[in-house]
């Protein structure tokens, strides 16, 4: 591993979005131009692998185009379609049937008449699936996470949150109260210390404890029973974001809450349809009709936003039915086979992977410089995979996030590993040349 001094490296290999998060100046628009200058240079040098598009959908192999229309193609480990439902014939049929019945638009907030027969059935299906009483739908998972917190927590309340919680949870917390306490990732004891501290001085206001069922960059999971116990002990409410594990993990697709036998025990279960359920959309499932009704009218991203389209509701409902069937079980088995095969092959190739087996397989890179060089190689060698840097992960912990699908083939998995291994070696060699130019270059 190279320890490159940043002064030897071009600006496109150094720096991070972190440096542009807080910018100074009285002109809100002018002061952000420095970011565009830096980004454009990265883009020109082939170090900006973001904001790409497909023209035939997120299949297991696909072509992608960047902002300038430059195309590459290859095996696709960059899309989140864990059970490969986005092109499933029954899902396509559900979408077509919804158009025939409703047209394409819900034309209203769920607080007015934006709901459809399908969205009502979807809320019921999610409640039953999770052993919860009621569910509220949101236009996206982000809106669900942000909206649940902002809807329930007032400025005098407290939030105790895993330090690596998703941006929708962090933003919701910041919008709700200044009393936000981050506990060490996955450490219930650290959460306990905050709860003791808060209850030591405030017994009258509420506390929301927030975590995820499966962390989206580290593929690890908390001990949910411990957090449930803590919440009971300190009169707090537990919210778990199951965006990445629901439907995709566990023998019956109930994710970590199911695998840890905690169905019906968590106060607020929040999730997204965008990873496994082939649609935009999110939900908050609760143990009472009172909470559902309160969130319906006091959670701004739900109340003051247009409801899911009838197509999205019909697709997510059909996806839940598949997830809850024998076919769903078979798809999860195939997904897990692929996950284990990918992890095993990566390790055999000398790469380091994060966390536990899940559809998220993150491959360690470390410095942004090496990661960007590897990323440039990867896209030319025929692999579509997302490079993750700050703000998704801390600076200096760059990684590739590979997302596995049920219908990836063994050949595609082998090809991905082969490319990563070759690209990593090529990236290391390029970095070594930049840091320590060979003598022939100096002569």
Residues of this chain that interact with ligand PLP (CB under 6 A) are 140-142, 145, 166, 168, 212, 216, 241, 243-244, 272, 274, 282
Please give the Cα distance from 15 to 31 (Å, whole number). Answer: 17
Please give the Cα distance from 35 to 51 (Å, whole number). Answer: 16
Q: How far is the CB of 140 from ligand PLP (least distance, A)?
A: 4
Q: How far is the CB of 91 from ligand PLP (least distance, A)?
A: 17
Q: How far is the CB of 416 from ligand PLP (least distance, A)?
A: 21
Pick from 356, 378, 65, 3: which is nearest to 387 by CA?
378
With b for 16 or more beta-carbon neighbours within 10 A and e for fewer, the 389-412 pattern comes to bbebbeeebbbbbbbbbbbbeeeb
Give burial (CB, 10 Å; 0-12/13-18/19+) of 106. Answer: buried
Q: How far is the CB of 119 from ligand PLP (least distance, A)?
A: 16
Q: How far is the CB of 227 from ligand PLP (least distance, A)?
A: 16
Pick from 284, 274, 277: which is nearest to 210 by CA?
284
Q: How far is the CB of 282 from ligand PLP (least distance, A)?
A: 5
- Comparing CB distances to ligand PLP, the nearer of 165 and 415 is 165
- Comparing CB distances to ligand PLP, the nearer of 147 and 282 is 282
- Comparing CB distances to ligand PLP, the nearer of 136 and 168 is 168
Q: Taking CB positions, which residue lies at the least distance from ligand PLP?
A: 141
Please list the residues that pair with 387 across neighbouring strands: 400
- Comparing CB distances to ligand PLP, the nearer of 144 and 195 is 144
Pick from 242, 281, 301, 295: which is nearest to 116 by CA?
281
Q: How far is the CB of 35 from ligand PLP (least distance, A)?
A: 22
Phi, psi (rounded to 5 degrees) for 196:
-65, -45
Q: How far is the CB of 44 from ligand PLP (least distance, A)?
A: 28
What secondary structure letter does DSSP report for 184? P
The DSSP result for 33-50, as a single string, is HHHHHHHHHHHHTT----
- Comparing CB distances to ligand PLP, the nearer of 243 and 373 is 243
- Comparing CB distances to ligand PLP, the nearer of 141 and 427 is 141
- Comparing CB distances to ligand PLP, the nearer of 15 and 58 is 58
Element of type H or E holding 178: none
Q: How far is the CB of 73 from ligand PLP (least distance, A)?
A: 24
- Comparing CB distances to ligand PLP, the nearer of 168 and 342 is 168
- Comparing CB distances to ligand PLP, the nearer of 141 and 310 is 141
What secondary structure letter does DSSP report for 388? E
The DSSP result for 408-426, as a single string, is --HHHHHHHHHHHHHHHHH
- Comparing CB distances to ligand PLP, the nearer of 38 and 215 is 215
| Measured CA distances, 245 to 77, 171, 197, 239, 288 (Å) | 17, 22, 32, 15, 23
Q: How far is the CB of 350 from ligand PLP (least distance, A)?
A: 28
Element of type H or E holding 363: strand 360-366
Element of type H or E holding 244: none
């Amino acid at each position: 591993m190279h320890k490159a001094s940043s002064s030897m490296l071009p600006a496109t290999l150094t720096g991070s979005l972190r440096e542009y998060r807080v910018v100074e100046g009285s002109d809100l628009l002018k002061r952000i131009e420095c970011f565009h200058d830096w980004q454009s240079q990265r883009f020109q040098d082939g170090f900006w692998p973001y904001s790409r598009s497909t023209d035939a959908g997120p299949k297991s192999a696909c072509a992608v185009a960047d902002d300038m229309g430059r195309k590459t193609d290859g095996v696709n480990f960059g899309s989140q379609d864990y059970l490969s439902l986005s092109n499933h014939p029954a899902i396509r049929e559900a979408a077509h049937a919804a158009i025939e019945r409703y047209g394409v638009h819900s034309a209203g907030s769920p607080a007015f008449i934006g709901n459809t027969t399908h969205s009502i059935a979807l809320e019921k299906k999610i409640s039953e699936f999770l052993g919860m009483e009621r569910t509220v739908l949101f236009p996206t998972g982000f809106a669900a996470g942000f909206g649940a917190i902002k809807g329930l927590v007032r400025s005098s309340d407290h939030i105790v949150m895993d330090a690596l919680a998703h941006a929708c949870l962090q933003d919701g917390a910041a919008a709700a109260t200044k009393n936000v306490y981050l506990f060490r990732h996955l450490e219930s004891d650290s959460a306990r210390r905050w709860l003791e501290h808060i209850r030591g001085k405030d017994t009258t206001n509420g506390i929301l404890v927030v975590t995820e069922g499966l962390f989206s960059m580290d593929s690890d999971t908390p001990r949910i029973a411990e957090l449930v116990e803590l919440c009971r002990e300190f009169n707090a409410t537990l919210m778990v974001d199951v965006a990445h594990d629901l439907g995709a993990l566990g023998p019956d697709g109930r994710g970590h809450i199911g695998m840890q036998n905690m169905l019906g025990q968590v106060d607020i279960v929040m999730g997204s349809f965008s990873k496994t359920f082939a649609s935009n959309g999110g939900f908050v499932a609760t143990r009472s009709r009172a909470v559902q009704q309160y969130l319906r009218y006091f959670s701004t991203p739900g109340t003051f936003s247009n409801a899911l389209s009838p197509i999205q509701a019909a697709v997510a409902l059909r996806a839940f039915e598949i997830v809850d069937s024998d076919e769903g079980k078979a798809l999860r088995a195939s997904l897990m086979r692929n996950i284990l095969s990918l992890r095993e092959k990566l390790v055999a190739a000398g790469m380091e992977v994060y966390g536990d087996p899940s559809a998220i397989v993150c491959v360690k890179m470390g410095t942004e410089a090496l990661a960007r060089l590897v990323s440039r190689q990867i896209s030319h060698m025929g692999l579509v995979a997302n490079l993750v840097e700050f703000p998704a992960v801390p600076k200096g912990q760059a990684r590739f996030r590979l997302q596995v699908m049920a219908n990836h083939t063994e050949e595609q998995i082998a090809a991905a590993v082969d490319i990563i291994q070759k690209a990593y070696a090529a990236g290391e060699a390029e970095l070594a040349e930049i840091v320590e130019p060979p003598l022939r270059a100096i002569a």
